[in-house]
């Protein structure tokens, strides 16, 4: 892979060189590679096929998790979130100590490895919300809850320029990776002023299936607003909003 230089940027194929634009700029690479039928059948590529199968499972699992909290991701995600989540899901799959290589999966892996995952790398929860909070998952009751004691917003929230208000959001998701289904409930606070007035205790409770045996995920985030003439406007189309998986229970 090489970067294109010069005033004129190319897009397309010339001879054996393909020119294209990516998030890293204008690049160029040489055509080539191993035929697909050889990768699919040659014993020498057994490991490649195994890696491909597990990567596919990781990608599908990541998509299912994203779909479960899709509404929240529209306000808090970065351009590389999908690839970062897939990479983390690969780690989850590779932690499967039950199945042989090539057949490892998310269900038998370590879903807890996803705890702490930031959906918006440009606006991490830990560098935005400094107020202490607790996150709990009650599998028997089917509740996923985040609780934040009273705090002074101006002191405990790092907000982007122009902020006048904010909102804390949360979601609890029960993911059935085997059948590719999910149960999700979200909750949020009212839109609160970003000032020196202490908040009340904030408790966000999300309910899924009681006594579930599926992986459970609790997400917590914050969204910022600017009030203009009595109307609330989301800041920067969500570019500064944070969303993180604060608690994960694999089974």
End-to-end alpha-carbon separation of the chain, Å? 42
In this structure, the answer to whether residues 160 and 208 fall within a common structural domain is yes
Q: Angle of helix 81-94 relative to helix 46-68, nearest 10 degrees?
A: 120
Distance between CA atoms of 176 and 193, rounded to whole angstroms?
38
Q: pLDDT at position 17, please?
A: 66
In this structure, the answer to whether residues 27 and 41 fall within a common structural domain is no
In this structure, the answer to whether residues 127 and 13 fall within a common structural domain is no
Q: pLDDT at position 75, please?
A: 84
In this structure, the answer to whether residues 83 and 188 fall within a common structural domain is yes
Distance between CA atoms of 27 and 63, rounded to whole angstroms?
28
In this structure, the answer to whether residues 149 and 124 fall within a common structural domain is yes
In this structure, the answer to whether residues 45 and 75 fall within a common structural domain is yes
In this structure, the answer to whether residues 24 and 92 fall within a common structural domain is no
In this structure, the answer to whether residues 53 and 109 fall within a common structural domain is yes
Distance between CA atoms of 87 and 92, rounded to whole angstroms?
9
In this structure, the answer to whether residues 105 and 173 fall within a common structural domain is yes
In this structure, the answer to whether residues 42 and 12 fall within a common structural domain is no
How many domains does one find in the chain?
2
Strand order in the sheet with 143-148: 134-138, 143-148, 202-207
Distance between CA atoms of 94 and 88, rounded to whole angstroms?
10
Distance between CA atoms of 108 and 214, rounded to whole angstroms?
11
Look up the pTM and report it: 0.83
Distance between CA atoms of 187 and 71, rounded to whole angstroms?
12
CA atoms 135, 127, 72, 181: torsion sign: negative
Q: pLDDT at position 156, please?
A: 97
What is the extent of the structural domain holding 16?
1-32
In this structure, the answer to whether residues 50 and 10 fall within a common structural domain is no
Run means of pLDDT, 10 residues per run, the chain, 251 residues: 53 60 64 59 60 83 95 89 94 91 87 96 93 97 98 96 96 95 97 97 98 96 95 82 95 78
In this structure, the answer to whether residues 7 and 76 fall within a common structural domain is no
Q: pLDDT at position 208, please?
A: 97
């Amino acid at each position: 892979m090489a970067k294109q230089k010069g005033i004129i940027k190319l897009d397309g194929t010339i001879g054996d060189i393909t020119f294209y634009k990516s998030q890293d700029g204008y690049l160029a690479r040489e055509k080539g590679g191993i035929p697909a039928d050889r990768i699919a059948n040659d014993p020498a590529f057994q490991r490649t096929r195994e890696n491909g199968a597990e990567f596919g499972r990781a990608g599908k699992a990541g998509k299912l998790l994203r779909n479960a909290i899709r509404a929240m991701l529209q306000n808090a995600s970065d351009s590389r979130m999908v690839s970062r989540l897939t990479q983390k899901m690969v780690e989850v799959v590779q932690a499967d100590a039950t199945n042989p290589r090539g057949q490892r999966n998310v269900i038998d892996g370590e879903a807890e490895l996803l705890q702490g995952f930031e959906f918006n790398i440009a606006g991490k929860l830990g560098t935005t919300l400094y107020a202490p909070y607790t996150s709990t998952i009650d599998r028997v009751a089917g509740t996923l809850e985040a609780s934040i004691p009273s705090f002074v917003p101006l002191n405990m929230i790092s907000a982007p320029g122009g902020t006048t208000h904010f909102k804390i959001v949360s979601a609890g998701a029960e993911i059935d990776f085997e059948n590719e289904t999910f149960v999700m409930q979200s909750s949020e606070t009212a839109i609160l002023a970003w000032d020196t007035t202490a908040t009340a205790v904030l408790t966000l409770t999300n309910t899924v299936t009681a006594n579930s045996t599926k992986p459970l995920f609790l997400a917590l985030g914050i969204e910022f607003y600017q009030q203009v003439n009595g109307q609330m406007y989301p800041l920067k189309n969500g570019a500064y909003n944070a969303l993180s998986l604060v608690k994960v229970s694999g089974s």
